[in-house]
Amino acid sequence: MPGEAGERTMSAIKQVAVFALLSAMAATAAAQVELRDARGRSSTWTTPPARIVSMVPSITEGLCALGACAKLVGTDRYSNWPESVKALPKLGGLDDAQVERIVGLKPDVVLAAPSARAVGRLEALGIRVLVLEAKTHADVERSLTTLARLVGQPAEATLLWAAIQRDLKAATARVPAALRGQRVYFEIASAPYGAGAASFIGETLAQMGLGNALPPELGPFPKLNPEYVVRVQPDIVMATRRAVDEMPRRPGWDRLRALQMQHSCGFDAERYDMLVRPGPRLGEAAQTLADCLIAIDERDRRAQQDNGAKAPTR
Amino acid sequence: MEREAAAQRRRLGGFLALLALLLGVAGLAAGSDGWSWRVLLDPDAALIVGQIRAPRTVGAWLTGALLALAGAVAQGLFRNPLADPYLLGSAAGASLGVVIVLAAAALGGHAIGLATADTLSRFGLVSAAFIGALGGVMLTLALAAGAQQTTRLLLAGVVVGVVLGACSDMLTTLAPEALQGKQTFMLGTTGFLGWDSVVVLGGGLLATLPLAWRLARALDALTLGEDTARTLGLPLARLRAALVTVLALATGVAVSQAGLVAFVGLVSPHLVRRFAPGPQGWMLLASAATGGALLLGADVLARSLIAPQELPVGVLTAVLGGGYLLWLLHRRGVR
């Protein structure tokens, strides 16, 4: 009975079709991602964005650390790591973003920090904007998780964060015993602004078992009276190479014991960028701090040995 | 003599109209890839040209016109060629408004409650700048006890400017994150002007220009001196209050959309006076048209000079307007 056979075939085809349709729907449902950004706004992503513009250096770094660097089509003018992003179009800063160029790049999403006027303008032009905040370690973890889910690699964030934590622990273990608990003054701008205990740099220092010369009630990045630093007499001073070299010339700062004893870390521009960016290189930053602390400790020991060697001759 | 002056005015009027038209066309062609007409045929033309370049071009002209109108009103009102739209505390007020919103996010959780910070950020930079500008002028008026005396008004404006400026400096000290946004605002930017901004700016010009036109006769009387104006039977205090309102509204609307664009308001009336002086009504209209052309010209250059990068438009208005004025002064000195 050819008719019956035909009908059976037809129904089989229908079944297959229905099954395929259902599984396709299930697949899209699984791929569909619901994200909540720093403004508390939620957005739904059916497919991972293929073209991304990042307007924040730490977010650029985060995206690249998650292995999605190739999706970047443009960044802000400050993004400079990893090396490959330097070749991308530079679209201004957050506050003077070049709207036309960004739109011209046809990004599927623009990643930005809060409080940027450009965000409103871009959204009015029909571009999706995801606002991410990175002020604390917890923010960094949250941003990385959001980014990883956005690019469809949710597992990557967990791995990356675990690696950061591993680096942090390793760095902590490398801090010389003699320097544990010493109070650090970390200068972020020569006005001077220091990194307080409430900042992410302060968090890193605390995790590494170091103290902070600035109490938490001063807030994350307080502008200080230069006299305050002299009075507080931090045990270790950290800043850019240039700032550290220039510090003894500030009135009264030649009396800083940390500077006299060379308990200072002057970082070159590249390393300093890494230290002051709340991004995926947090762990590496901690390792850099540990390197400097080890160097200080070695200098101290050598000085002690010299003194010890000199003592009998006297 | 009078006929020659009228002909001069007609020539300048025609030239400004033509300039606006030419610059308008240039504004559609100049973009992030320099000068190119090809983008007009692009499938994205509706977005790039229709939604970005067109409103930016119209918006830049309107912003310049508003600032120059305010400048002409200020110079007529204070009978001082150095008066500019930012004189009565509006600039400092607008910056303070912007800094409060910018710093809100940073200070949230520390100096102020998170809920307050959130409300402030939602409030937006545009409305903050507008309310700040009007607030600054109102504070000046309150300090000067109304608009009775010009000197008192000027002095109050300076004091308010200094005090509000100090307040915003203090906020940026507490929240250095706000510094960059503040700097952008103080330099002025035409990059974020959309059709919604154009509606606001156009509305501002439609509201202030007819009012200023009606007050032009009072300004004419004021050029003869306050005493003469008073003997002519003009209600000076009321008229001055009305002129200050025009000044504050025009400035507030312009800076809320484009920031503190420098020099357009100061230099435009001078340019008009140099080429085709006339009664105040003409001065107001021609200054507005000159300011529009000046800012639009600066904007087109800002986009194209170092494309794909952009120059701050405020820097260019200062260089263009200031340079031209200097050249004029120099030529006049040589003759």
Q: Name which of A89, A189, A198 is nearest B308 (Cβ-Cβ).
A: A89
Q: Which range, of A147-156, B212-221, B276-285, B306-315, averages the lowest pLDDT?
A: B306-315
pLDDT digits (tens, 9 = 90+) for A42-55: 999 999 999 999 99
Minimum Cα–Cα distance from A97: chain B residue: B191
The minimum CA-CA distance between B149 and chain A, rounded to whole Å, is 39
Q: Tell if the CB–CB gap between A104 and B102 is shorter than 8 Å.
A: no
Q: Tell if the CB–CB gap between A118 and B173 is shorter than 8 Å.
A: no
Residue B111: band (very low, low, confident or very high) from pLDDT cuts 50, 70, 90: low
The minimum CA-CA distance between A219 and chain B, rounded to whole Å, is 7
Highest mean pLDDT among A7-11, B62-66, B224-228: B62-66
Confidence (pLDDT) at A1: 41
In whole angstroms, how far apart are CA B221 and each of A8, A304, B9, B136, B228? 99, 87, 21, 28, 7
The minimum CA-CA distance between B181 and chain A, rounded to whole Å, is 6
State the average pLDDT for chain B: 86
Strand-pair partners of A238: A186, A265
Strand-strand pairing, A72-75 and A129-131:
unpaired
Closest CA to B289 of B271, B312, B313, B263: B271
Which residues of A fall within a CB distance of 8 Å from B46? none
Query: Using CA atoms, how far apart are residues B251 and B92, in angstroms rounded to an integer?
Result: 12
Q: Give residues with Cβ within 8 angstroms of B211, minimum separation 6.
A: B242, B245, B246
For chain A, what is the largest distance between any 2 Cα atoms, rounded to a whole number of angstroms? 118
- Which positions in chain B have a beta carbon within 8 angstroms of at least one beta carbon in chain A? 31-33, 44, 47-48, 51-53, 101-102, 104-105, 110-111, 121, 124-125, 173-174, 176, 180-181, 183-184, 189, 191-192, 194, 196, 303, 308-310, 312
Common-topology check for domains A33-152 and A176-306: yes
How many percent of chain B have pLDDT more than 90? 43
For chain A, what are the domain ranges? 33-152, 176-306
Q: Tell if the CB–CB gap between A96 and B184 is shorter than 8 Å.
A: yes
Tell me the DSSP string of B297-328.
Answer: HHHHHHHHTTTTS---HHHHHHHHHHHHHHHH
Q: Name which of B52, B105, B184 is nearest A100 (Cβ-Cβ).
A: B52
pTM: 0.80
Minimum Cα–Cα distance from A225: chain B residue: B173
Q: Tell if the CB–CB gap between B32 and A104 is shorter than 8 Å.
A: yes
Confidence (pLDDT) at B222: 84
pLDDT digits (tens, 9 = 90+) for B268-316: 999 898 888 889 999 999 999 999 999 999 999 998 888 778 888 888 9
Confidence (pLDDT) at B333: 65
Q: Cα B122 to chain center, whole Å?
A: 25
Q: Tell if the CB–CB gap between B308 and A98 is shorter than 8 Å.
A: yes
Tell me the DSSP string of A109-154.
Answer: EEEE-SS-HHHHHHHHTT--EEE---SSHHHHHHHHHHHHHHTT-H
Q: Name which of A115, A118, A193 is nearest B105 (Cβ-Cβ).
A: A115
Per the omega criterion (within 30 degrees of 0), is the bond before B176 cis?
no
Window 118-147 of A: residues touching B by CB (8 A cutoff) are 118, 120-121, 124-126
Closest CA to B75 of B246, B234, B314: B246
Q: Give residues with Cβ within 8 angstroms of A228, minimum separation 6.
A: none
Confidence check on the interface: ipTM exceeds 0.90, yes or no? no
Query: Which backbone phi and psi does A80 adopt, to 5 degrees?
Result: -140, 10
Which residues of A fall within a CB distance of 8 Å from B102? 115
Looking at domain B2-334, its CATH class is: mainly alpha
Q: Tell if the CB–CB gap between A117 and B192 is shorter than 8 Å.
A: yes
Amino acid identity, position A135: K
How many Cα atoms are found within 13 Å in the side-chain-facing hemisphere of B301? 15
Which residues of A fall within a CB distance of 8 Å from B111? 219
Tokens of A97: 């973003």
Inform me whether the C-beta atom of residue A302 falls under 8 Å from chain B C-beta atoms: no
Query: Which backbone phi and psi does A73 adopt, to 5 degrees?
Result: -115, -5
Residue A15: band (very low, low, confident or very high) from pLDDT cuts 50, 70, 90: low
C-alpha torsion A229→A230→A234→A235, nearest 10:
160
Q: Tell if the CB–CB gap between B173 and A223 is shorter than 8 Å.
A: yes
Closest CA to B195 of B14, B62, B16: B62
Tokens of A68: 């999605």
State the average pLDDT for chain A: 88
Residue B164 has pLDDT above 80, yes or no: yes
Confidence (pLDDT) at A2: 46
Confidence (pLDDT) at A314: 43
Closest CA to A58 of A179, A143, A180: A143
Residue A73: band (very low, low, confident or very high) from pLDDT cuts 50, 70, 90: very high
Closest CA to B171 of B234, B221, B128: B128
Q: Tell if the CB–CB gap between B192 and A103 is shorter than 8 Å.
A: no
Q: What is the mean pLDDT of the segment spanning A274-298?
A: 95
User: What CATH number belongs to A33-152?
Assistant: 3.40.50.1980
Angle (nearest 5°) at CA B207 between B204 and B211: 135
Q: How many cross-chain Cβ pairs, A to B, lie less than 8 Å apart?
A: 77
Q: Which range, of A78-87, A149-158, A304-313, averages the lowest pLDDT?
A: A304-313
Residue A105: band (very low, low, confident or very high) from pLDDT cuts 50, 70, 90: very high
Q: What is the mean pLDDT of the segment spanning B164-185?
A: 86
The minimum CA-CA distance between B287 and chain A, rounded to whole Å, is 28
Minimum Cα–Cα distance from B123: chain A residue: A115
Residue B120 has pLDDT above 50, yes or no: yes
Q: Tell if the CB–CB gap between A219 and B110 is shorter than 8 Å.
A: yes
Confidence (pLDDT) at B5: 87
Where does chain A show beta strands of DSSP type E?
A: 33-36, 42-45, 52-54, 72-75, 109-112, 129-131, 183-189, 193-194, 211-212, 236-240, 264-267
Highest mean pLDDT among A12-26, B97-111, B177-191, B278-292: B278-292
Residue A310 has pLDDT above 80, yes or no: no
The minimum CA-CA distance between A61 and chain B, rounded to whole Å, is 20
The minimum CA-CA distance between A222 and chain B, rounded to whole Å, is 7
Closest CA to B71 of B331, B330, B321: B321
Minimum Cα–Cα distance from B195: chain A residue: A124
The minimum CA-CA distance between A212 and chain B, rounded to whole Å, is 19
pLDDT digits (tens, 9 = 90+) for A188-233: 987 788 999 989 999 999 999 999 999 988 888 888 888 899 889 9
Query: Using CA atoms, how far apart are residues A114 and A99, in angstroms rounded to an integer?
Result: 17
Query: Using CA atoms, how far apart are residues B326 and A130, in angstroms rounded to an integer?
Result: 47
Strand-pair partners of A111: A54, A130
The CATH fold assigned to A176-306 is Rossmann fold (3.40.50)
Q: Tell if the CB–CB gap between B308 and A101 is shorter than 8 Å.
A: yes
Angle (deg, nearest 10), helices B54-78 and B264-275: 70
How many Cα atoms are found within 13 Å in the side-chain-facing hemisphere of B320? 23
Q: Name which of B102, B121, B310 is nearest A92 (Cβ-Cβ).
A: B310
Inform me whether the C-beta atom of residue A90 falls under 8 Å from chain B C-beta atoms: yes
Minimum Cα–Cα distance from B99: chain A residue: A115
How many percent of chain B have pLDDT more than 70? 93
Q: Name which of B32, B51, B125 is nearest A125 (Cβ-Cβ).
A: B51
Q: What is the mean pLDDT of the segment spanning A11-15?
A: 63
Candidates A117, A122, A133: best to mutate against B (most CBs of B within 10 A) is A117
